[in-house]
Chains A and B, each alone.
Chain A
Amino acid sequence: MTVIPPMEPWTVQQVDPQRMKTMAALLRDPYPIHWDPESVRDDLHRGRTVNQGPLNLAYIANMLMAWAGDGSIRRLTARFHGHVVAGDIVTASGSVDEVIVLEGETRARCSVRLLRGDEVMVSGTAEVALERPADPSSLPPFPEESA
């Protein structure tokens, strides 16, 4: 029987506009809402740049990897419900819905979310391996569920 440790919430105390700029450069993302406060002077954003969607999902990935280890994520799905902006405090959290064994690998199927206060900014699902070999560079392909 697999003993599943608790999945701890993972909080970003301040979404950082400087990191958005670095991310925009790495992604080659020309969309100015991520790096130019002048492009988000509307009443909703008030000059606060918009965090990239993949960064919001990355916070959820970080929460999952803090729980099950780097390289444990097998599948992530996400829906985006609103803009996370510079200065926001957001918390990634999740819960295990089901434990499965796939070709000898024990996996947890989880519901995941990113919250700003009580507001759901990202929701989705994850499939996470709970037992893995230690050396990721020597890993064979992950077993894939047949359609």
Chain B
Amino acid sequence: MPEFLHNIIYGDVTWMNLITAAVILFLAMILSKVLSLHLRRSLKDKMVKENLELMAKVVTYGILIIAFVWVLPTLGLELSGLMVAGGIFGLAIGFASQSIIGNLISGLFLMGERPVKLGDFIEVSGNMGVVEDIQIISTTVRTLDGPTIRIPNEMVFTSSITNYTSIPIRRFEYEIGISYADDAELAIQIIRDIIKEHPMALLNPAPQVYVDGLGDNSVDIIVRIWSPSSAWFPVKMELLWKMKRAIEAAGIEIPFPQRVVWQGDKGEES
């Protein structure tokens, strides 16, 4: 064994100790990667994705923390000494890393309480998108137009979160105006038939179709439809146009805004 390995770098720590610590940390990193990868592969079809991701992260961070604590004495850092040092530096570190610690603690609460899960479609702090990753410090959301947004966990945890996929179904609504001269009951029946034909327009809760108002330009029919959360947007996109075409095919007019102007007779004026 080369002699220099026993040379002291600082305190009682030699090059040998340093290399041993580095090797242990390196092996721990590899082990954590291999184990989390193995977990992801072997339990992919058997566990819900977000639970699997959480488990993989716990395994990864757990191994790294154990390895880190293990090598501390090798590097001449006794845990008891660290606790004393912690007392001295804690305050300074606390001030310096206030936001990081806040995000970290919020991250732990997020993973524990799980108001959002991977794949959920959420709106938080004005950002709407699909949750792609929940890390210990931040949450990544992919917005509808593509880019990802990294939101600090503290912001996620302290903001009001709208989770659109936490329930199995979701409702959407249309307002369709028809001419006063046309038969609203016929229009309602046409709309109901179209809803009935669509597989993803749920039978229960039943759709609602009714005259909701007598507007300035039209008789307003409200249409409320429930659909599976995973399919609601394609259904919403598809049905309105079908309704429009079917209503017009039945000779029912969907009127433009209009104003009737009566012009006085010139003869009467004079």
Q: Are chains A and B native binding partners rather than an unrelated pairing?
A: no
Taking Cβ atoms with an 8 Å cutoff, the residues of B that contact A are: none
Taking Cβ atoms with an 8 Å cutoff, the residues of A that contact B are: none
